Amino acid sequence: MNRTFWATLVTLLLSTGQPLALDITSLAPIRGTPGTLVAIDGGPFSSKTQPFLGEHYVEPRIVQDNHLEFTVPLLPPGNYLLTVQDNAATAGQSFQFEVMAPTPQVSSLNPHTIDICQIDAQAEIQVNGRNFLPGAEILVNNKLIPGHVINATTLEAHLPEFQQSGVYGVMVRNPDGAISLPYSLSVNSTPEIFSVERGADFVTYYEIIIHGKNFLFNSIMVLQESESGSANRTYQQLSFVPRSDAPAEGDGRTIAPQSDRLIFVDCQTLIYQRHPYSFQNKELGLQIFNPDGGSTDLYYVSLP
């Protein structure tokens, strides 16, 4: 008889719209950085349910009868009391949630590959990602480089001079010490010839100007030269001479007869001083080799 009475009473309460108590049974996780997805179990929840972190309302992403999810907003690090309200009802339980300092994340670099040859001293790199705080710093292989924060997703920095090719790790460090995982920056030292042009003419020789990239002060050039009227080729290897040591026309110094030489101007320009046995055009093949083993493709040109 008593069982029937209580069952009837519960049915009457439900039918008259008596609200059920609002509960929070679990919270996971209990700490996280802004952007972390947090799940609340309990209920009953509805479209009018409102979670709060301290005094900050947090809009829920998913609301089910006994499950609710929200994303941690951008709040200062610290402990916040998490509560849930639904109309005038407030959950009897509350939890402490710790908002942690955001960890910076690097998603891309622009450029992500650079040449070891840098003529422009103001060349910059742009670091893209998220959670970059004011005062964030850029590290390349754990070494700080000058830069500045554009906004929470973009930083810019001056590129350092790289002495060796390879892959370097770029990281962002926030003022609180939180640091991103490294993102790969490739430094390329492979030389490449873009163009070859005939330069100044002198009595016994003329200049061939070689334009390209990643030429080093100790690069060498190998010359392939076809014999006139023959399929045979001769090969000549030329080492560089510094530009300051190359005699200029009329400066009182002389060049040994038929002494070809390669002059390093900068990492984008080489000058080949050529003493041809004949000033009749022929096919020449030029190839530049760097000390680290990198080399250009053969570049063919028709010159004396």
CA distance 257 to 128: 57
Fold match between domain 105-188 and domain 192-303? yes
Specify the CATH number for 21-99; select among 2.60.40.10, 2.60.40.420, 3.40.605.10, 3.40.190.10: 2.60.40.10
Task: Please give the CATH topology (third level) of the domain spanning 192-303.
Answer: Immunoglobulin-like (2.60.40)
- Domain locations along the chain: 21-99, 105-188, 192-303
The owner of tokens 């063919």 is 300
Contact 120, 99 (CB under 8 A): no
Residues 105-188, CATH architecture:
Sandwich (2.60)
Can you give the pLDDT of all 304 residues of the chain as single tens digits? 455 544 444 444 444 444 557 889 999 999 998 889 999 999 899 989 999 999 999 999 889 999 999 999 988 889 999 999 988 788 888 899 999 988 899 999 999 999 988 766 567 899 999 999 889 999 999 999 988 999 989 999 988 888 888 999 999 999 988 999 999 999 999 999 999 999 999 988 999 999 999 998 888 888 888 765 555 666 676 665 545 445 454 444 444 445 888 899 988 999 999 998 888 888 899 999 998 889 999 999 999 8
Q: Which helix (H) or strand (E) holds 138?
A: strand 137-140
Residue 161 is given by DSSP the state P
